[in-house]
Amino acid sequence: MVPASHMQMLYAKAAARNNRCLFVEFPTGMHMDTWLAGGDQYWRTIQQFLEQHAPERNDAGAR
């Protein structure tokens, strides 16, 4: 488990070198329930990440 202060420090270091970094905070989420505590915002964030970094491929592009 990573304390919040360490998460923020890691994000700051990564963001200093990569402007695509994003830190999304779920203040009521814990290690095993962030998906539940974060509700709709959590799932929207996951969907946006996947749309940006893992676009759908059609069957013609599959190997």
Confidence (pLDDT) at 10: 96
Residue 1: which pLDDT band, with cuts at 50, 70 and 90? confident
- DSSP 8-state assignment for residue 13: H
Distance CA 37, CA 50 (A): 20
Confidence (pLDDT) at 34: 93
**What tens digit of pLDDT does each residue of 7-46 get?**
999 999 999 999 999 999 999 999 899 999 999 999 999 9
Question: Which amino acid, one-letter code, is at 25?
Answer: E
Q: Are 11 and 21 in contact (CB under 8 A)?
A: yes
Q: How far apart are the first and last CA of the chain?
A: 38
